[in-house]
Amino acid sequence: GNVALLRELGPKFDFDVVPVELISRGDGVDEPVSSTAIRRALAGGQVELATQLLGHHFEARGKVVHGDQRGRTIGFPTANIEVPKVICIPADGVYAGVLTRANGDAHVCAINLGRRPTFYEHADHSLLEAHLLDFDGDLYGETVRVSFSHFLRGERKFENIDALKMQLKHDIEQTRAVSKI
């Protein structure tokens, strides 16, 4: 919508309209901050740009559910987070971020958002998985927030489990580096 439409709908739905000046990105790009620009940044995996536009890291909230335990069996346990399908999420890929529990405890994590092509040839939806660094505990059933701070790489299919494990180690090193821990 726009200001004119909102002014027209205001009396009907009992709300006031107070227009404000458009806010620009501030990085030399002449584009106003808008929900469209934010969705476009997320769809392209540009979480750093989305952070700049939002004024905070993009977050997804969801419940930790049981998965197939593949991460645990190869030494990289993950929290599988059930995210409502109606929310806008970043492009499939690997990200650095933070998982925050309901009690406020925050844990740096390497995030995989994708269809896991190494294990599943034709997955029909993306899964959000977070490997919490230096954490050993049980999160099943908890509702958590996952904030995305840095895009690390796109999702890809690996030839074998050893190649995947080598890449996961590298992803964790990168997560530590960008998180400064």
**pLDDT, tens digit, for every residue of 25-81?**
666 666 778 888 899 999 999 999 999 999 899 999 999 999 888 889 898 999 999
Please give the average per-residue pLDDT across 130-146, as a whole number: 95
Task: Quick: pLDDT tens for 39-48.
Answer: 999 999 999 9
In this prediction the pTM is 0.82
CATH superfamily, domain at 57-179 = Riboflavin kinase-like (2.40.30.30)
Q: What is the mean pLDDT of the chain?
A: 89
Q: Which band of pLDDT confidence, cut at 50, 70 and 90, is reported for residue 11?
A: very high
- Percent of the chain's residues with pLDDT above 70: 93
Q: What percent of the chain has pLDDT over 90?
A: 66
pLDDT of residue 34: 85
Q: How large is the average pLDDT for residues 15-33?
A: 76
- Report which residue type is found at 4: A
* pLDDT over 70 (residue 86): no
Higher pLDDT, 166 or 181: 166
CA–CA dist 23, 28 (Å, integer) = 12
Q: What residues act catalytically?
A: 129
Would you state the pLDDT for residue 27? 67
Q: For residues 112 and 94, what is the distance between their CA atoms, to the nearest angstrom?
A: 5
Q: Where are the alpha helices (DSSP H) in the chain?
A: 3-13, 35-43, 47-54, 70-73, 161-179
Q: Which residues contact 171 (CB under 8 A, 6 or more apart)?
A: 94, 110, 152, 153
Q: Are 60 and 89 in contact (CB under 8 A)?
A: yes
Q: Where are the domains of the chain?
A: 57-179
